[in-house]
Structure 1
Amino acid sequence: MENRIDQLFATKKNGILNIYCTAGFPKLEDTLPVMTALQAHGADLIELGMPFSDPLADGPVIQESSTKALQNGMSIRKLFEQLDGFRQRIDVPVILMGYFNPVLLYGVEAFVKKCAETGIDGVIIPDLPMAEYESDYKVIFEQYNVHLIFLVTPETSEARIRKIDSLSKGFLYAVSSSSTTGKDKDMGNQQAYFEKLQQLKLSNPVLIGFGIKDKATFEAASKYTNGAIIGTAFIRAIENSTDIDADVKKFISAIKN
């Protein structure tokens, strides 16, 4: 079966909206209600954060949501329990984003196999070195048709971007700057970087993340790439939610309409 991420990019070339949410946040059992609302109100792709105690690439808002989810009792095992059977109601591609240590503790092959069995399409592991992936884990991900998605930054050299592009499946996650998530960015300052990515004619689609928070930043990012990823602004929108569906609808319609 063709991976759902590939199906999405084959049918939609631009304006792809990927929304990041932390699993088990705001409440432990909110994972599926949030995902269901995201699909219902127009998210093209869902990125589920696996909470970790030391999330290096994440800004304070996502770190806080991660801490809260861990306090709620979230773990990789609990997440897979929650996701059991989720494909009966959710069709959009779903990727897991997390750090390598918990995956290593779970067992890399066991984790990838479980992703495939559950219906997860891809994984982002920012601290998994490219060389290690290529030598030790690439064969496992490909065996189970789970895409590993790499990050590139404005500092990544052209040669390295091309190498990452050759190893990546699904799409490339283009970090808009080298800071953590959630920092305010001036999209105008990133224009040269976005244009460079566009000119490289990469084999993978590209989504931009970090600093995308509203209609204007989403459209600015989508001008040069296939779409964008919103995390911090969405976490803020639901952190005190008493009506997940209504708050998700409000958030997405402000970006898309």
Structure 2
Amino acid sequence: MNRIDQLFQTKKKNILSIYFPAGYPHLNDTNSTLELLQKKGVDLVEIGIPFSDPLADGPVIQTAAKRALDNGMSLKLLFQQLENARGNIAMPLILMGYWNTVYKYGVDHFLADCRKSGVDGVILPDLPVEEYEEDYKAKFELAGIYNILLVTPQTTRERLMQIEKSAKGFLYMVSSLATTGGILHYDSKREEYFKKVSQLDIPSLIGFGIHNKESFQHASRFANGAIIGTAFIKALQAGNSEKFLNGLR
């Protein structure tokens, strides 16, 4: 069974997912960061594949991605790091990046290396659902790698039904159309969107704008948990990542 399914079967609420870019702040920090996250009880980890033009990301993640690339991080090296780390890491691992990186690497090669290194799923925001279903779904399923799909406040009910049929693992519920790193503000329309998605027959996590214990707990009222990215990257940069994680529970 995929580790993502195992997680959501054993834990229904307050699932904490942390995002950080591979190779940040230093090239060989990926595995030590994973070990810290596991030690602090993080449930799920999203590892960013550094990309030179991350359109959905705010300035903090863009700067971190550039530094990781300058450090020499590559997809090939990331797979090597994860293969070395996997024996000590029990958490589900998800790679998050852009389709162009995967396509250049070679889809079959990418999926084979995901499987070899113990990756459980991927998030590819710029891969349309229709293209995935028509051209790549069979390959992903054969490899046992979940393609985690995103929904936004602008996703129509009809589109939501289509995504639900194709989704594996959980839905990434984008809180707003702003780039990452903002503060999540609640209103009746946004809460209605969260409730609509949470009624689907698949788990969901809320991302974008979750930055501390209070915002994590509030978001978890409307989903199975939430994702923290920018705030954790700031903590990594400041050298107080352990203190930050201690304050989330």
Q: TM-score normalised by the shorter chain: which range applies? A: over 0.9
Say if 1:187 and 1:221, in contact at 8 Å, map to a contact too: no
Report the Cα distance in structure 1 between the residues aligned to 2:184 and 2:14, rounded to whole angstroms: 19
Quote the offset at 1:89 in angstroms: 0.4
Identity %: 52
1:24 equivalent in structure 2: 23
Equivalent-residue separation in structure 1 for 2:211 and 2:169 (angstroms):
23
Residue 249 (structure 1) aligns with: 242
Does 2:238 match 1:240?
yes
Please state if 1:196 is matched with 2:220. Answer: no
Question: Is it true that 1:226 corresponds to 2:221 in the alignment?
Answer: no
Give how far 1:248 is off.
Answer: 3.1
Q: Which residue of 1 aligns with 2:65?
A: 66
Aligned pair partner of 2:209 in 199, 208, 211: 211
Can you list the C-alpha shifts for 1:185-238, whole angstroms capped at 9, x where unaligned?
A: 21345222212222xx31220000000001111011100110000000000001
Q: Distance in 1 between matches of 2:77 and 2:99?
A: 17
Amino acid of the structure 2 residue aligned with 1:251: F
Letter in 2 for 1:16: I
Q: Indicate conservation of the 8 Å contact 2:27/2:72, yes or no.
A: yes
How many Å separate the matches in 2 of 1:56 and 1:211? 16
When normalised by structure 1's length, the TM-score is 0.94
Q: Which has the larger displacement, 134-143 or 185-194?
A: 185-194
Alignment gaps of 5+ in structure 1:
242-246
* Most deviating of 179-188 and 72-81: 179-188
> Structure 2 counterpart of 1:61, which letter?
V
CA contact (8 A) 1:28 1:73 kept: yes
**Higher mean C-alpha deviation, range 186-195 or range 142-151:** 186-195
| Residue 142 of structure 2 is aligned to residue 143 of structure 1 | yes
Secondary structure of 2:179's counterpart equals: coil
Q: 4+ residue runs of structure 1 moved beyond 2 angstroms?
A: 187-190
1:255 Cα deviation from its structure 2 partner: 1.1
> Retained in 2: the 8 A contact 1:152–1:174?
yes
CA distance in 1, matches of 2:24, 2:177: 26
**Matched-pair contact (CA < 8 Å) for 2:80–2:117:** no
| CA RMSD after TM alignment | 1.0
Aligned length: 248
8 Å CA contact retained: 1:18, 1:45: yes
Residue 115 of structure 1: SS of its match in structure 2? helix
CA distance in 1, matches of 2:213, 2:48: 23
Moved more, 154-163 or 82-91: 82-91
Q: List alignment gaps of at least 5 residues for structure 2.
A: none
